[in-house]
Amino acid sequence: MKEVSEIFHNQILVVALLACFTAQGIKLIIELIKNRKVNFRHLVTTGGMPSAHSALVGALATGIGQTMGWSSPEFAIACLFAVIVMYDAAGVRQAAGKQAKLLNQIVDELFQEKHNLNEERLKELLGHTPFQVLVGLFLGISISMLSFHVL
């Protein structure tokens, strides 16, 4: 049981999760401003501004750099991991979202012609624009830098 409680004393992990949850909270606030209603699904959905994945890996890499050193192998691993996650968020998942949008349009057109198809729609907001990824990255770095000076 002691090992489990030690997880919550891992400052790098706690700060990275804080950055992720902060990004998700910002998504909720942006949705409130845009649509004048609270949609709690934005706390757990992918896509949108800012990228929570980028905030998480940005804070993780920054925290490792601050504690292990900027020239450490651990920082190098964290940076490469962050690049892969951010590339996936802006590249692969965004492309999958565009494909989902096109497939949803095709299904909509077929339903207008009264075909018998499953009406379930695909999720279109899967990835991020490069700007959303950068904002998430800078959010994560900022939270990590501020947290390590405070904690």
**Total tally of structural domains belonging to the chain:** 1
**Token pair listed for 73:** 């192998």
Give me the amino acid identity at 59: A
Q: Residue 63: CB partners within 8 Å, gap ≥ 6?
A: 11, 12, 15, 16, 144, 147, 148
Residue (of 36, 27, 21, 57) closest to 141 by Cα position:
57
Residue (of 41, 44, 22, 45) closest to 32 by Cα position:
41
Count Cα neighbours of 36 within 13 Å in the Cβ-side half-sphere.
0
pLDDT digits (tens, 9 = 90+) for 107-138: 676 667 665 556 665 555 556 788 999 999 99
Q: Domain residues for 129?
A: 2-150
- Print burial letters for 108-142: b (CB count within 10 Å at least 16), e (below 16): eeeeeeeeeeeeeeeebebbbeeebbbbbbebbbb
Mean pLDDT of 96-117: 67
Count Cα neighbours of 86 within 13 Å in the Cβ-side half-sphere.
25
pLDDT digits (tens, 9 = 90+) for 15-74: 999 999 999 999 989 888 888 888 777 677 777 889 999 999 999 999 999 999 999 999
Look up the pTM and report it: 0.77
pLDDT of 98 strictly over 70: no
Residue with tokens 């050193």: 69
Q: Residue 29: CB partners within 8 Å, gap ≥ 6?
A: none
- Give backbone dihedrals phi and psi of 49, rounded to 5 degrees, phi first: -105, 130
